[in-house]
């Protein structure tokens, strides 16, 4: 798993006002919400809505059309400690609300403070390593060059196409064995 990432004003920064983390496919990104053991003497605790946005929303730290609400950090006094959210960085997801990540791309998260919160808009850029290798030629599938086993040569083979692009080759003798049980009916 990737190192924990704390959503807190003291941990969420770099030169462009955000934080960047590089991950790989099948890594986990753990996000911990702010947590307080007791009420604050001055002001209200930080609470946020975490969104996935496009690059413009990241730069300006605002919700864009098409922004996707990921989580809410709205339990700063949870009895069990800081609330943790995990994002699995995967190419395909079985979940309807899951995100499918692509190698070589960047994804942007922002946290918008709740109206009653004193928190700031925080930013996280997730860079998914590495760009997929590109090929210039289309992949080609060749028929096997070996002889089929059993009687007969390749000229006596029957090609059957299923839902797979690769042909299945059966010798005439094997095909006869498949048909014989139906002749007894």
Q: Per the domain annotation, does 44 fall within a domain?
A: yes
- For residue 140, is it within any domain? no
CA dihedral sign, ordered 65, 28, 82, 8: negative
CA distance 135 to 150: 39
Q: Domains in the chain: how many in total? A: 1
Tokens of residue 21, six digits: 């983390």
Whether residue 41 lies inside any domain: the answer is yes
Query: Between these two residues, 151 and 30, which has the higher pLDDT value?
Result: 30
20, 5 Cβ separation under 8 angstroms: no
In a domain, 75, yes or no: yes
pLDDT at 176 (0 to 100) = 46
- Please report the pLDDT score of residue 10 as a whole number: 36
Tell me the CATH number at 76.
2.60.40.420
Indicate the pTM of the whole model: 0.60
| Residues above pLDDT 90, as percent of the chain | 15
Domain hosting 76: range is 4-129
Does residue 171 belong to any structural domain of this protein?
A: no
3-state secondary structure of 126: strand
The answer to whether residue 35 scores a pLDDT higher than 70 is yes
The answer to the question of residue 46 being in a domain is yes
Residue 172 included in any domain:
no
């Amino acid at each position: 798993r990737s190192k924990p990432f704390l959503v807190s004003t003291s941990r969420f920064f770099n030169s462009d006002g955000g934080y960047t983390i590089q991950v790989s496919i099948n890594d986990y990104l753990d996000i911990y919400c702010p947590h307080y053991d007791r009420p604050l003497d001055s002001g209200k605790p930080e609470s946020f809505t975490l969104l996935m946005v496009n690059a413009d929303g990241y730069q300006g730290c605002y919700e864009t059309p098409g922004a996707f609400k990921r989580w809410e950090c709205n339990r700063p006094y949870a009895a069990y400690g800081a609330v943790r959210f995990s994002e699995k960085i995967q190419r395909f997801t079985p979940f309807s609300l899951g995100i499918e990540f692509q190698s070589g791309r960047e994804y942007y998260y922002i946290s918008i403070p709740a109206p009653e919160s004193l928190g700031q808009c925080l930013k996280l850029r997730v860079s998914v390593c590495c760009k997929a290798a590109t090929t210039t030629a289309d992949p080609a599938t060749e028929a096997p060059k070996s002889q089929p086993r059993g009687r007969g040569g390749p000229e006596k083979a029957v090609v059957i196409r299923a839902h797979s692009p690769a042909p299945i080759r059966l010798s005439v003798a094997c095909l006869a064995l498949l048909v014989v049980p139906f002749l007894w009916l």
